């Protein structure tokens, strides 16, 4: 907070000013606003939720982080499908590399995904 008293030599009204500057969200504590992390490519945001992906908490199979495993996630799985790896998976695609993770999204992962599918 920065404050400045009004010019009030007689100190009649004892007025002042206060300014509050809220620091923008910085979930990864790198002293760069998260929106700047994403815009400047310091951080990826593969699920386009405005939160750097390293701060997102992903559930296996839930690529968009909305709490379900549905056909939207299935569409994402299809774009992530690699066949037998290992390959360098993006953060969003790594949610489809089910246990035991082996750095690919292949038919084994595909089968596990369908066991988790619970949404429309």
Binding site for Ca ion (CB under 5 A): 26, 28, 30, 32, 34, 37, 45, 47, 49, 51, 53, 56, 62, 64, 66, 68, 73, 97, 102, 104, 109
Smallest gap from residue 41 Cβ to Ca ion (A): 13
Q: How far is the CB of 2 from Ca ion (least distance, A)?
A: 24
- For Ca ion, the closer of residues 109 and 113 by Cβ is 109
Q: Considering beta carbons, is residue 15 or 36 the nearer one to Ca ion? A: 36
Query: Is there a contact between 67 and 59 (Cβ–Cβ < 8 Å)?
Result: yes
Cβ-based nearer residue to Ca ion, 3 or 83: 83
CB of 59 to Ca ion, least distance (A): 8
Q: What angle do CA 55, 59, 60 make, to 5 degrees?
A: 125
**How buried is residue 99: exposed, middle or buried, by Cβ count under 10 Å (0-12/13-18/19+)?**
exposed
CB of 1 to Ca ion, least distance (A): 23
Is the backbone of residue 61 left (phi > 0), alpha (psi -120 to 50) or beta? left
Q: What angle do CA 62, 85, 91 make, to 5 degrees?
A: 35
């Amino acid at each position: 907070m920065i404050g400045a008293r009004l010019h009030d030599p007689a100190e009649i009204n004892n007025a002042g000013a206060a300014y509050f500057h809220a620091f923008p969200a910085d979930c990864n504590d790198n002293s760069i606003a998260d929106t700047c992390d994403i815009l400047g490519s310091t951080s990826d945001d593969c699920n386009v939720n405005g939160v750097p992906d390293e701060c997102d908490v992903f559930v296996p199979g839930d690529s968009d982080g909305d709490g379900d495993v549905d056909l939207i996630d299935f569409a994402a799985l299809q774009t992530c499908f690699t066949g037998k790896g290992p390959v360098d998976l993006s953060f969003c695609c790594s949610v489809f590399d089910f246990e035991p993770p082996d750095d690919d999204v292949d038919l084994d992962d595909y089968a596990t995904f369908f066991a988790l599918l619970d949404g429309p």
